[in-house]
Amino acid sequence: MTRFKASGLGSLCFAFTATGGRFQPGDSFVPTTGKVMALGGTGAAARWNATAMYSLKAITGTSTEKFSFSGTAQGKIAKKRGLSLTCQQVAALVRG
């Protein structure tokens, strides 16, 4: 769940999955692939239909880590989708 500061955007509930690959000797990270999907929201974000697929390619840096990804993203403005019951419960946790 994320809330936007810009007036009228509202909030967006999303699902995130990650699958670890096989650690390669000499690397400092586990290669990971995953997906992020918009599930619904409030305000203008309630009309966002988006999906992104990603693959973590590298992590570099010592004091500040830099992550290198590749992937695809697609999005469109669609019919308004409000917050599901699960998203409402998460939103309540975020608000405190």
CB 81 within 8 A of CB 43: no
- Cα–Cα distances (Å) from 1 to 25, 62, 80, 81, 82, in that order, read 36, 30, 17, 14, 13
With a pLDDT cut of 70, the percent of the chain lying above it is 98
Phi-psi region of 86 (alpha: psi -120 to 50; beta: other; left: phi over 0): alpha
Q: Give the pLDDT band of residue 40 (cuts 50, 70, 90).
A: very high
- For the segment 41-64, what is each residue's pLDDT rounded down to a tens digit? 999 999 999 999 999 988 888 899
